[in-house]
Amino acid sequence: MWVYEKKLQYPVRIKNPNPKMAKYIITQYGGPDGELAASLRYLSQRYHMPIPEAKAVLNDIGTEELAHFEMVGAMVYQLMKGACPEEIKMADVGTYFADHDNAVYPSTGTGVPFTAAYIQSKGDPIADLHEDLAAEQKARATYENLIKLADDPDVIDPLRFLREREIVHFQRFGEVLQKVREYMESKKYF
Amino acid sequence: MDYRHPRYCWPRAPYGYYDYPMKKGLELAEAYIPYQQYTTSLSPMEALRAGTMFPELVRPYEKKGCEGGKADESCSR
């Protein structure tokens, strides 16, 4: 079970609505390399990890990804809040607006709804950990693209934080990969 | 020239591969990330700013200007 803290992991305080930026960022909410996919991937894969350290890392990082999901949701919400239909039309977010108004819905920027097809839970710890390493790199690359697209410091600052977390997670998954490999190797000769 | 050296075998090893002794325990067809060694930690405020409390993992991203000489003020990569 989880204990909820009623605050964001890193503050999101966006003063100026920007529906176009919301459309770019929402892919990290419900897209292929987004935070929802990441948390469901790690929280599902943790069960079949062979050593407690690996279960714990997947559990912790999967939990943190939920906190990132919440941050990205807050960013999309604040960027859409207060934007009038005319601005939304100008920013070419009308197709999203027609379906969801100013609400936050897990999808890509082009409206593809979230799907578990973005993730795998293979039952092979080595294969799964390689997917997790790749997922962190893909998310890092996405955040860099989003930083390139953003010019508001209120938007860039949380994106920068989220990008750095991907690097830290990559390091942790790399360490777990080595531990799992050593464990599996040790089981061969007993 | 020692043509029995693995570099002259086919398929040829990547250049530089046999120039460095393999670290013990490293195998082909495996991915490795070195274990992090604890050195020092940032203060809680610095850590929140940086996104990590470990200074050796701080990898800030800087936006670069456009390549190709066509950059104007509105363009940054």
Confidence of residue B5 (pLDDT cuts 50, 70, 90): low
Q: Domains of chain A (ranges plus CATH)?
A: 19-188 (1.20.1260.10)
pLDDT of amino acid A6:
97
Mean pLDDT value across residues B69-73: 52
CA nearest A166 in B: which residue? Answer: B51
Residue A147 and residue B61: Cβ atoms within 8 Å? yes
Helix A52-80 to helix A35-45 angle (10° resolution) is 160
A48 vs B12, residue with greater confidence: A48
pLDDT(B73) > 90: no
A167-181 per-position pLDDT tens digit: 999 999 999 999 999
pLDDT of amino acid A55:
98
B1 vs B35, residue with greater confidence: B35
Name chain A contacts of B45, Cβ cutoff 8 Å.
none
CA contacts within 13 A on the Cβ side of A111: 9
Name chain B contacts of A10, Cβ cutoff 8 Å.
48, 51
Name chain A contacts of B58, Cβ cutoff 8 Å.
164
Is the interface score ipTM higher than 0.90? yes
A11-24 per-position pLDDT tens digit: 999 999 999 999 99
Mean pLDDT value across residues B41-66: 94
Confidence of residue B75 (pLDDT cuts 50, 70, 90): low
Among A133, A152, A171, A180, most B C-beta atoms within 10 A, so best to mutate, is A171
B9-35 per-position pLDDT tens digit: 444 455 555 554 455 678 899 999 999
Among B61, B67, B72, B76, most A C-beta atoms within 10 A, so best to mutate, is B61
3-state secondary structure of A181: helix
3-state secondary structure of B76: strand
